[in-house]
Amino acid sequence: MSKLIEVEQLYRYYGDHCAVDNVSFTLDKGEILGFLGPNGAGKSTTMQMICGNLAPTSGQIRINGIDILDQPKEAKAELGYLPEVPPVYREMTVDEYLEYCARLHHIRRDRVGKIVAGARERCGLADVGERLIGNLSKGYQQRVGIAQAILHTPEVIILDEPTIGLDPIQIREIRELIRELGKAHGIILSTHILPEVQESCTRVQIIDHGRLVLNDSIEGLALKMRASSLILATREQPALDELGSVDGVQSIEMIDPNRCRVFYAVDTSPAEGIADLVVSAGWGLQELTPEKRTMEQIFIDITQHAPTHEAPPP
């Protein structure tokens, strides 16, 4: 089975500035790919090239096996797109708008009613077909935007910041909808909201200075977030040389005379050895707590330490 998206050695230059630097990745059916990056990292430029709105300086993009430069209309027909601001007409009813979008997608007139009803049902809009879009909540307007993106049953759905400005209940509902859509499509979810990726996605990519600096599954990300340090507090000041000799301990950082941070290898667990040493040495164990890295910390670490050099023009 062919990949739904294949991006190979993608470059984009603006004059001498390399905005996208040798980016390659794929997307399979059933995957929800979270695409992250700080401002100016090249995320928006990459998304525009995938959607066919911007030509790459070099590289190749195939949508469901179709080259987007050689056959742009055919490739774009495989895409459904929801920009950050939903492209809805507030003076139309939901049904009028979706029927209009169906005609734009060249859906046969005799199938429009069935297609619109199906999209409304999938997006939780079954009861609002006759309501003006302008009178709907922002959450429901997002649903209408997603409905227009899936009307023509595209293989790939691209969602740009789909929960920005929504309240917590609306965010939860849209995340559930995205997970449901992910079963039948390949989805790229562009977002600045890190918990969005953890809640909705199966894979995550981080782009920085035009380069992909992380491409991992959510399970792999969970391993990176796993505790790799312990906070140790004792009644008496511990002997650091003895503490450092415990199996798995890599280094020790003093926080204050009776409190320290113990770093250890990810594939080890020295907590029991540390506890035994503290008790046997009579230092008085007061705290031994694992620290967990948040996704925000991982994101900051990766983007602050990523290489910043630019590749020579291809």
Q: Which of 74, 60, 7, 62 has its CA nearest to residue 35?
A: 7
Asked whether residue 71 is assigned to any structural domain, the reply reads yes
310 — pLDDT class (breaks 50, 70, 90): very low
305 — pLDDT class (breaks 50, 70, 90): low
DSSP 151: T
Question: Would you state the pLDDT for residue 195?
Answer: 82
106 and 162 fall within a common domain = yes
pLDDT tens, position by position, 76-117: 999 999 988 889 999 999 999 999 999 999 999 999 999 999
Q: Which amino acid is at 232?
A: L
11 and 151 fall within a common domain = yes
Tokens 């918990």 locate to: 195
DSSP 73-98: HHHHTTEEEE-SS----TTSBHHHHH
Residues 128-132: contacts with CB under 8 Å, at least 24 apart: 128/94, 129/93, 129/94, 129/95, 130/93, 130/94, 130/95, 131/93, 131/94, 132/90, 132/91, 132/92, 132/93
pLDDT tens, position by position, 181-203: 999 999 999 988 888 888 899 99
**Structural domain ending residue among the three candidates 223, 238, 265:** 223
Q: Which of 204, 190, 144 has its CA nearest to residue 51?
A: 190
Asked whether residue 49 is assigned to any structural domain, the reply reads yes
The tokens describing 159, both together, are 């969602």
Pairing, β 32-36 against β 17-27: unpaired
Other beta carbons within 10 Å of 153: 14
Percent of the chain with pLDDT over 70: 96
pLDDT at 309 over 50: no
Asked whether residue 311 is assigned to any structural domain, the reply reads no
Q: Residue 26, exposed/middle/buried by CB under 10 A (0-12, 13-18, 19+)? A: middle
pLDDT tens, position by position, 243-292: 999 999 999 989 999 999 998 877 788 999 999 999 999 999 999 998 87
160 and 276 fall within a common domain = no
CB-CB contact of 6 with 155 (8 Å): no
Domain of 13 in residue numbering reads as 5-223
pLDDT at 29 over 60: yes
pTM above 0.75, yes or no: yes
77 and 105 fall within a common domain = yes
143 vs 225, which has greater pLDDT?
143
Asked whether residue 313 is assigned to any structural domain, the reply reads no
23 and 51 fall within a common domain = yes
- Average pLDDT along the chain: 90
